[in-house]
């Protein structure tokens, strides 16, 4: 599988497209104005305790208070509160936790009022970005993610990714991390750590320890509701999480972003530094690599499939609904079951891509075409799970219900990627109505009076729809001839099939459009 990353950098941020075998599978937008990114750590102030929800509303500087549930406090929240109090009072000087005495874990079934109180300061991490009318979702179970490992303070547990299957490799990684991790810190070993040496893991862990030291240093003087430690940019986050030897190229259209990406890859994977390329073509980077066309064809309510079938994707506040239709794909009556199975498989592959591409989260209900054979339903379910195996968002897929519906829950941590692909009609401006065609010639002549008489333009050209050109030039003593006698100069008339029926433009002798 060939993977490519296309980065379109602009003054407002960057748009990042991930392609697999030239097909767009993920699209991310990194905006400079976005202050609430998943992974950012803030010094929150408790605004309100809600016993009925077993949760608290926290001020992190957003227009709406953020939400912190008891289950998101983390078992070591008492240790975090104790450290925060000591650091801000100047009573704890060390940046690590060697001399820190952790508190006991909280009760999983406890009440939030037993742990937090109004106006209390507590470091919190953004778990979900603000979505729709809701503020950010928070967690006080802090973690700092790196390329190979994740650092978890106030814990001694070493966890290993379930995707690493070899027991020998799991034991090796556990021993390596045990020998290098600091006291009172837990570590999560990520999938990409498989096969990596001590030096690479240690370098990554030291970088995370350095970030923790920065966090402790800033914690002392940070004002309430302000950011203490920021996550790296979306571009670097994607590179950190998915970069592997399968990547063939990373294209960037802006010099400073090119240097930033190249430098970051040099740090995390020096052998892949050479795949970063600077886009030097005149046409926009997304247009050059065919990304723009794919965006237009894959976003929107209806998504067409290669075999003639299509998907209809509807969004509501509570869930997303995807309907699979066979379209103009036909089959013999004896072959209806097989035809439905093939269409459903084709749709399942596209649905897995659409979920990643649009970053659709929450509940997704898919209405596949009815199939009668239990073996086909089972195979379709397994095929959908296999197609979604590469999806980095946490998700759960339920087997088909008795109505033939498959339900999917997918982690939602940021707003859904929504791109409007429809365009405003240039003829009616979106109103659905146009000026009467009988007045078109009057409009053209009114502009002639302005351009030729007041602006004193010479040798102008009128460009219109082919039908209008034919009408103007029809007959010996036609409209063009009348204009010659009326204005004292010959006016060229050209047609453009791309024009709307009532669209017209004027061009000067230098072939420059005359703005009206």
Please give the residue range of the domain that contains residue 442.
Answer: 437-514
Tell me how far apart the alpha carbons of residues 393 and 381 are, in angstroms, rounded to a whole number: 19
Average pLDDT for the chain: 87
Tell me how far apart the alpha carbons of residues 205 and 182 are, in angstroms, rounded to a whole number: 9
Average pLDDT of 454-465?
A: 89
| 339 and 455 together in one domain | no
pLDDT for the residue numbered 236 = 77
| 215 and 84 together in one domain | yes
Query: Each residue of 97-111: pLDDT tens digit?
Result: 988 898 999 998 899
pLDDT for the residue numbered 71 = 93
Q: Is residue 173 part of a domain?
A: yes
Query: Each residue of 286-322: pLDDT tens digit?
Result: 989 989 888 888 888 888 888 788 999 998 877 899 9
Q: Is residue 264 part of a domain?
A: yes
Q: Is residue 416 part of a domain?
A: no
Average pLDDT of 19-25?
A: 89
Q: Is residue 376 part of a domain?
A: yes
Average pLDDT of 495-516?
A: 86
Residue 477 clears pLDDT 80, i.e. is over it: yes
Give CA 113 to chain center in angstroms: 36
| 154 and 13 together in one domain | no
- The band of 169, judged by pLDDT with boundaries at 50, 70 and 90, is very high
Average pLDDT of 420-445?
A: 74
392 vs 469 pLDDT, higher one: 469
* 273 within 8 A of 261, measured Cβ to Cβ: no
At 87, which CATH number? 2.40.50.140
* 5 within 8 A of 17, measured Cβ to Cβ: yes
| 137 and 166 together in one domain | yes
Residue 112 clears pLDDT 90, i.e. is over it: yes
Average pLDDT of 479-490?
A: 90
- The band of 121, judged by pLDDT with boundaries at 50, 70 and 90, is very high
| 327 and 269 together in one domain | no
| 208 and 240 together in one domain | no
Q: Is residue 122 part of a domain?
A: yes
Residue 332 clears pLDDT 60, i.e. is over it: no
DSSP bridge partners of 180? none
Average pLDDT of 140-158?
A: 92
Domains in the chain, number: 4
Q: Is residue 319 part of a domain?
A: yes
pLDDT for the residue numbered 189 = 94
- The band of 12, judged by pLDDT with boundaries at 50, 70 and 90, is confident
| 221 and 252 together in one domain | no
Rounded to the nearest 10°, the torsion over CA 363, 131, 389, 368 is 30
- The band of 160, judged by pLDDT with boundaries at 50, 70 and 90, is very high
Residue 326 clears pLDDT 90, i.e. is over it: no
| 77 and 194 together in one domain | yes
* 56 within 8 A of 118, measured Cβ to Cβ: no
Q: Is residue 187 part of a domain?
A: yes
| 79 and 105 together in one domain | yes
pLDDT for the residue numbered 34 = 65
- The band of 53, judged by pLDDT with boundaries at 50, 70 and 90, is very high
Q: Is residue 432 part of a domain?
A: no
Instruction: Write down the residue that tokens 């794919």 correspond to.
Output: 294
| 313 and 376 together in one domain | yes
| 370 and 460 together in one domain | no
Residue 331 clears pLDDT 90, i.e. is over it: no
Residue 426 clears pLDDT 70, i.e. is over it: no
Lowest mean pLDDT among 58-62, 420-424, 456-460, 504-508: 420-424
Could you tell me how many residues make up the chain? 516
Residue 438 clears pLDDT 80, i.e. is over it: no
Burial 69-102 (b: 16+ CB within 10 A, else e): bbebbbebbbbbbbbbeebeeeebeeeebeebeb
pLDDT for the residue numbered 464 = 92
- Quote the strand ranges of 299-415, DSSP E: 302-304, 310-315, 319-325, 362-367, 395-397, 405-410
Within 10 angstroms of residue 13's Cβ, the number of other Cβ atoms is: 17
Half-sphere exposure of 213 (CA within 13 A, CB side): 11
Residue 333 clears pLDDT 60, i.e. is over it: no
- Quote the strand ranges of 11-77, DSSP E: 13-20, 23-31, 41-50, 55-59, 66-69
- The band of 59, judged by pLDDT with boundaries at 50, 70 and 90, is very high
pLDDT for the residue numbered 427 = 66
Average pLDDT of 464-469?
A: 91
The residue out of 175, 208, 229 marking a domain boundary is 229
Q: What is the pTM of this model?
A: 0.69
Lowest mean pLDDT among 121-125, 188-192, 258-262, 465-469: 258-262
- The band of 270, judged by pLDDT with boundaries at 50, 70 and 90, is confident
Residue 457 clears pLDDT 70, i.e. is over it: yes
Q: Is the dihedral of CA 339, 340, 341, 347 positive or negative?
A: positive
| 396 and 466 together in one domain | no
């Amino acid at each position: 599988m060939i993977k490519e990353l296309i980065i379109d950098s602009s003054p407002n941020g960057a748009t990042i497209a991930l392609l697999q075998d030239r097909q767009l599978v993920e699209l991310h937008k990194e905006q400079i104005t976005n202050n609430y990114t998943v992974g950012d750590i803030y010094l929150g102030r408790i605004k309100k305790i809600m016993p009925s929800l077993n949760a608290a509303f926290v001020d992190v500087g957003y227009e709406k208070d953020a939400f912190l549930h008891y289950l998101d406090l983390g078992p070591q929240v008492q240790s975090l509160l104790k450290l925060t109090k000591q650091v801000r009072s100047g009573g704890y000087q060390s940046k690590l936790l060697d001399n820190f005495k952790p508190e006991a874990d909280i009760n999983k079934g406890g009440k939030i009022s037993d742990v937090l109180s109004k106006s209390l300061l507590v470091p919190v991490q953004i778990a979900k970005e603000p979505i729709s009318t809701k503020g950010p979702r928070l967690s006080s179970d802090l973690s700092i993610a790196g390329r190979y490992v994740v650092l978890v303070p106030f814990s001694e547990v070493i966890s290993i990714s379930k995707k690493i299957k070899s027991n020998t490799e799991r034991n090796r990684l556990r021993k390596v991390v045990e020998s290098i991790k600091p006291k009172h810190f837990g570590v999560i070993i990520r999938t990409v750590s498989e096969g990596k040496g001590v030096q690479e893991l240690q370098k990554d862990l030291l970088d995370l320890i350095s970030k923790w030291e920065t966090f402790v240093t800033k914690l002392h003087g940070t004002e309430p509701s302000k950011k203490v430690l920021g996550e790296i940019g979306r571009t670097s986050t994607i590179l950190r999480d998915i970069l592997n030897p399968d990547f063939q190229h990373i294209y960037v259209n802006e010099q400073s972003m090119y240097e930033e990406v190249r430098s970051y890859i040099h740090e995390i994977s020096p052998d892949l530094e050479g795949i970063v390329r600077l886009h030097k073509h005149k046409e926009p980077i997304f247009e050059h690599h065919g990304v723009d066309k794919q965006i237009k064809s894959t976003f929107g309510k209806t998504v067409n499939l290669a075999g003639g079938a299509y998907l209809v994707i509807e969004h509501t506040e509570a869930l997303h609904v995807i309907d699979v239709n066979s379209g103009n794909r036909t089959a013999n009556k004896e072959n209806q079951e097989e035809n439905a199975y093939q269409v459903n498989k084709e749709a399942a592959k596209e649905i897995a891509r659409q979920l990643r591409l649009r970053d659709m989260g929450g509940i997704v209900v898919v209405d596949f075409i009815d199939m009668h054979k239990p073996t086909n339903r089972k195979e379709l379910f397994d095929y959908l799970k296999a197609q979604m195996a590469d999806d980095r968002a946490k998700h759960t897929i339920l087997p088909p219900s008795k109505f033939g519906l498959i339900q999917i829950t997918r982690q939602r941590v940021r707003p859904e990627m929504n791109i409007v692909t429809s365009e405003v009609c240039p003829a009616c401006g979106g109103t659905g109505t146009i000026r009467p065609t009988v007045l078109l010639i009057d409009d053209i002549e009114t502009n002639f009076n302005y351009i030729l008489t007041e602006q004193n333009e010479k040798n102008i050209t009128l460009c219109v729809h082919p039908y209008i050109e034919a009408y103007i030039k029809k007959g010996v003593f036609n409209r063009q001839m009348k204009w010659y006698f009326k204005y004292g100069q010959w006016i060229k008339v050209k047609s453009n099939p791309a024009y709307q029926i009532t669209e017209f433009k004027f061009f000067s002798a230098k072939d420059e459009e005359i703005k009206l």
